[in-house]
Amino acid sequence: MTLNHGQPTAADLRALYRRDPVLGRAIKRLPPFPGFGQGRSADSHFHSLARTIIYQQLAGQAAATIHDRVHALTPGPRFPSAEDLAKIPTARLKKAGLSGAKQAAIKDLAKKVINKELRLRSISRLDDQEIIERLTTVRGIGPWSAQMFLIFRLGRLDVLPGGDLGVQEGLRILDKLEDRPTQARLEARGACWAPLRSVATWTLYRVVDEARDA
């Protein structure tokens, strides 16, 4: 089971540098991997997943505005709970800016949490693949969204979203490739990054940022 999370040890990072010196040089050049986990951008696991649904296919500011409107649909400082959201009429969710597909997805997430089909309180006890399998039963949550939850909410250190265009572009730049690698090629190339594939993923995102800002 892959239950590693939080921050990699110095020894783990040195071993990664030896396995992939090219990636290692990028890691050393860029800001330190910050580590991830609970409490950074969401009140709860439910909020984190609902936020993911809201942000899908939207630019950052537009998504943040809609998220804040949904947040304001119930009183108090915390994001609406599953029980709260299940009771909010779809007309109010639509007025907040959610599309029909996102309304259905958030309602399905709330329903599965309330019915205990999805037990978010204990989900961190499961390994990565089990979590992906359970989360992707929710309408609107695919493998990529589940992988982002693993990395940024649970702080799992060995996740590689091979289908992510940003990660593919980062590897293209890192390895000086003419074209972006396919998912299969990226995953094969990244096999040596285990058990710190999340660190590699974060680094490849930063490689893209660095190239854009150059």
Rounded to the nearest 10 degrees, the angle between the axes of helix 45-55 and helix 100-114 is 160
CA distances (Å), origin 30, targets 67, 84, 127, 205, 211? 31, 42, 29, 11, 12
The total number of residues written for the chain in this structure: 214
| Per-residue model confidence (pLDDT) at position 6 | 76
| Count of Cβ atoms closer than 10 Å to residue 201 Cβ | 25
CA distances from 49 to 23, 109, 139 (A): 30, 8, 11
pTM score? 0.90
**Same domain, yes or no: 170 and 149:** no
What gap in Å lies between CA 207 and CA 212, rounded to an integer?
9
Q: Which of 190, 196, 123 is nearest to 158 (CA)?
A: 196
CATH number for position 132: 1.10.340.30
Listed residues 133, 153, 173: the one ending a domain: 153
User: Does any domain span residue 186?
Assistant: yes
The Cα 136–Cα 34 span in angstroms is: 27
Kindly report the CATH number assigned to the domain that includes residue 24.
1.10.1670.40
Bridge partners (DSSP) of residue 187 are none
- Cβ atoms of residues 198 and 157 within 8 Å: yes
Task: Give domain status of residue 4, yes or no.
Answer: no
Q: How high is the pLDDT of residue 40? A: 62
Residues 64 and 70 sit within 8 Å (Cβ to Cβ): no
State how far the Cα of 121 lies from the Cα of 114, in Å rounded to an integer. 12
Q: Which domain holds residue 85?
A: 45-153
Instruction: Provide the pLDDT for residue 39.
Output: 55
Domain count, the chain: 2
Active site amino acids? 164
**CA 28, chain centre distance (Å):** 23
* Residue 145 and residue 191 in one domain: no
What amino acid occupies position 203? T
> Tens place of pLDDT for every residue, the chain, 214 residues?
344 567 899 999 999 999 999 999 999 999 989 888 765 667 899 999 999 999 988 878 999 999 999 999 999 899 999 999 999 999 999 999 999 999 999 999 999 999 999 999 999 999 999 999 999 999 999 999 999 999 999 999 999 999 999 999 999 999 999 999 999 999 999 999 999 999 999 999 999 999 998 7
For residue 28, the model assigns a pLDDT of 94
Question: DSSP code of 35?
Answer: -
In degrees rounded to 5, what are phi and psi of residue 156? -70, 140
Residue 80: inside a domain: yes
Q: Is 201 within a domain?
A: yes
